[in-house]
Chain A
């Protein structure tokens, strides 16, 4: 068994998960991931989609050519690998989609976001796949800001909104690795068939921490203009739901209220903003400078040494 600390949960996994840092905790495992025979379908599902179905206590996800994954209760993940799947294929979907579902089931607020630490707080960047979350986090890591989480961001509200680091390496496309001059830190491909790679962050922080600010990434498509714009609470709530790791799943699980409450708290404690910027690498330096000015303005400070 390999042991990992993912989103403050101790996870025992039968296979090695590349791109993950080993557990630092001596607590017994709260989640077990192991190989098993997983059915094609579930009996009496309460929700069905083309690739997944759900009963009251089980969640089945089929990734064609990779595996069938079954979440049992909220503490066990079983996987049934396809003949063509490599360990890397299994690992990326286990750590991504499947763990994301498990976090949803455990009642976390799960955001589609990457985060770095500024001062004592986590700064989140959310957006759809391809919006540039990981690239901004990597560029900030290059400036010394520790990476907290990449792609999936687990948050609890008790009562302060707290981010739980994912214990993962960054995942970047070849193009971003080259543009950010991070080739020396690039490791194996997340899947042999695609040109996205695990990248060792220059600095990382593995301790839970409060949220300092959330930025939703967007391009300056009219009427949006370049800059940082604070969202009023009602818009922030809609924005947070839109940037849930999987919004439809939130609705299916009856958790829309949880996200609304979280958004209200985050909007008042931290602030939810649009970060409207050109998505090209040439604009990155300017974007980072405007972020640092914004952190000074909202009192986050804490430039890395």
Chain B
């Protein structure tokens, strides 16, 4: 049985990079970024819901859809369980109960890998990806009612996904007791990709020989991904069809915030997220000013 594993994250933490690593590990040759797939569904997508339940999810309120989403994930997990390899399923939702009180994501997977990134770096990444200012990105990270696809005037191919604020998202996954969760910090993955990736694989019960991991890491280097995106584009980039959109694989650095954020912006983030940043091992720049 290879019941799926959630790849959980607040947006812009390196979730895609981890999926590229996994895909490069599972596949013999180098992967095509534009067919990148570590599972044939994501938690946010509506299509499997509509197809499995025979109900158009767009005719449901977000709460009504949330109440049914666990049954879809359970059914998908059951059918994936017969597969030869683990499906790694991307999910951005915070770990929350449905309106019926059931944990929405408990039945869809046997474990979760939570990927986090310093919120000061998430800020710049989000600003580029979503075409907002740094201050607007900080407001999103600090919004306890934050989420994806919240506008109810139109429709998206994705469900409403409640994120909470950056700290609340991490806390929701780290504090739940339904699923074993393995924490990956983007900064650690960047510093020693082979070791951190191997640990994550061991957590889900995959033992892979070092040479194969090293090869996957090499094929997934940031420079390689940037070159691929320049040559062939990347289907997951925001604003498809708009040539002025920023590249998806932009810098991939750790600590970029030291040169991009003002003191006020740093204070704004650290005051909102100081406790969770400390819990995750991120050193505050203005510890004196943060309670």
Residues of A within 8 A of B (CB): 49-52, 61, 63-65, 92-93, 96-97, 100-101, 128-131, 173-176, 190-191, 193-196, 219-224, 226, 246-249, 277-278, 283
Q: Is B255 an interface residue when CB atoms closer than 8 A count as contact?
A: no
Q: Which residues of A contact B52 (CB under 8 A)?
A: 49-50, 248
Residue pairs across A and B with Cβ atoms less than 8 A apart, 27 shown, are A49-B75, A50-B74, A51-B54, A51-B71, A52-B54, A64-B64, A64-B67, A65-B64, A92-B59, A96-B56, A128-B46, A128-B47, A129-B47, A129-B58, A129-B157, A130-B46, A130-B156, A173-B154, A174-B153, A190-B59, A219-B241, A221-B34, A223-B34, A223-B233, A223-B235, A226-B241, A283-B241
Q: Is B206 an interface residue when CB atoms closer than 8 A count as contact?
A: no
B240 contacts A246, CB within 8 Å?
no
- Residues A278 and B242 in contact in the complex (CB < 8 Å), given A129-B56, A130-B58: yes
Q: Which residue in chain A gives the minimum CB-CB distance to B58?
A: A129
Task: Quote the shortest CB–CB distance from B87 to chain A (angstroms).
Answer: 18
Top 10 A-B residue pairs of the complex, sorted by shortest distance between their CB atoms:
A222-B233, A175-B154, A50-B71, A220-B241, A221-B235, A278-B241, A51-B53, A174-B153, A129-B58, A130-B155
- Residues A223 and B232 in contact in the complex (CB < 8 Å), given A64-B67, A101-B54, A175-B153: yes
Q: Which residues of A contact B153 (CB under 8 A)?
A: 173-175, 195
Task: Give Cα A249 to B240, complex, Å.
Answer: 32
Q: Which residues of B contact A97 (CB under 8 A)?
A: 54-56
Q: Which residues of A contact B156 (CB under 8 A)?
A: 130
Task: Give Cα A59 to B50, complex, Å.
Answer: 17
- Residues A50 and B241 in contact in the complex (CB < 8 Å), given A64-B68, A129-B155, A221-B235: no
Q: Which residues of B contact A248 (CB under 8 A)?
A: 51-52
Task: Give Cα A195 to B233, complex, Å.
Answer: 35
Q: Which residues of A contact B75 (CB under 8 A)?
A: 49-50
Task: Give Cα A249 to B56, complex, Å.
Answer: 14
Q: Which residues of A contact B47 (CB under 8 A)?
A: 128-129
Q: Which residue in chain B gives the minimum CB-CB distance to A96?
A: B56
A222 contacts B61, CB within 8 Å?
no
Q: Which residues of B contact A65 (CB under 8 A)?
A: 64
Q: Which residue in chain A gives the minimum CB-CB distance to B74?
A: A50
Task: Quote the shortest CB–CB distance from A162 to chain B (angstroms).
Answer: 25
Write the B67-88 contact mask toward A (1 if CB under 8 angstroms, else 0).
Answer: 1100110110000000000000
Report the interface size for chain B: residues with CB under 8 A from the other chain. Answer: 38
Task: From the candidates A50, A221, A247, name the one contacting B72 in the complex (CB within 8 A).
Answer: A50
Q: Which residues of A contact B242 (CB under 8 A)?
A: 278
Q: Which residues of A contact B71 (CB under 8 A)?
A: 50-51
Q: Is B197 an interface residue when CB atoms closer than 8 A count as contact?
A: no
Write the B228-254 contact mask toward A (1 if CB under 8 angstroms, else 0).
Answer: 000011111100111000000000000
Q: Which residues of B contact A278 (CB under 8 A)?
A: 240-242
B54 contacts A61, CB within 8 Å?
yes
Task: Give Cα A223 to B235, complex, Å.
Answer: 7
Task: Give Cα A204 to B287, complex, Å.
Answer: 66
Task: From the candidates A51, A131, A220, A222, name the one contacting B234 in the complex (CB within 8 A).
Answer: A222
Task: Give Cα A166 to B266, complex, Å.
Answer: 57
Q: Which residue in chain A gives the minimum CB-CB distance to B46?
A: A129
A194 contacts B68, CB within 8 Å?
no
Task: Quote the shortest CB–CB distance from B179 to chain A (angstroms).
Answer: 20
Q: Is B288 an interface residue when CB atoms closer than 8 A count as contact?
A: no
Q: Which residues of B contact A249 (CB under 8 A)?
A: 54
A128 contacts B157, CB within 8 Å?
yes
Q: Which residue in chain B gives the minimum CB-CB distance to A89?
A: B59
Task: Give Cα A97 to B242, complex, Å.
Answer: 35
- Residues A246 and B51 in contact in the complex (CB < 8 Å), given A130-B156, A174-B154: yes
B61 contacts A128, CB within 8 Å?
no
- Residues A220 and B155 in contact in the complex (CB < 8 Å), given A64-B67, A128-B46: no
Task: From the candidates A49, A128, A193, A195, name the one contacting B54 in the complex (CB within 8 A).
Answer: A49
Q: Is B193 an interface residue when CB atoms closer than 8 A count as contact?
A: no
Q: Is B42 an interface residue when CB atoms closer than 8 A count as contact?
A: no
Task: From the candidates A130, A175, A176, A193, name the one contacting B157 in the complex (CB within 8 A).
Answer: A130
The B216-234 residues at the A interface (CB cut-off 8 A) are 232-234
The B146-182 residues at the A interface (CB cut-off 8 A) are 151-157
Task: From the candidates A61, A63, A174, A222, name the one contacting B235 in the complex (CB within 8 A).
Answer: A222
Q: Which residue in chain B gives the minimum CB-CB distance to A61?
A: B54
Task: Quote the shortest CB–CB distance from B254 to chain A (angstroms).
Answer: 27
Q: Which residue in chain B gives the minimum CB-CB distance to A248?
A: B51
Task: Quote the shortest CB–CB distance from B246 to chain A (angstroms).
Answer: 15
Q: Which residues of B contact A221 (CB under 8 A)?
A: 34, 233, 235-237, 240
Q: Which residues of B contact A176 (CB under 8 A)?
A: 154
Q: Which residue in chain A gives the minimum CB-CB distance to B156?
A: A130
Task: Quote the shortest CB–CB distance from B230 to chain A (angstroms).
Answer: 11
The B33-65 residues at the A interface (CB cut-off 8 A) are 34, 46-47, 50-61, 64
Q: Which residues of B contact A190 (CB under 8 A)?
A: 59
A196 contacts B58, CB within 8 Å?
yes
Q: Which residue in chain A gives the minimum CB-CB distance to B67?
A: A64
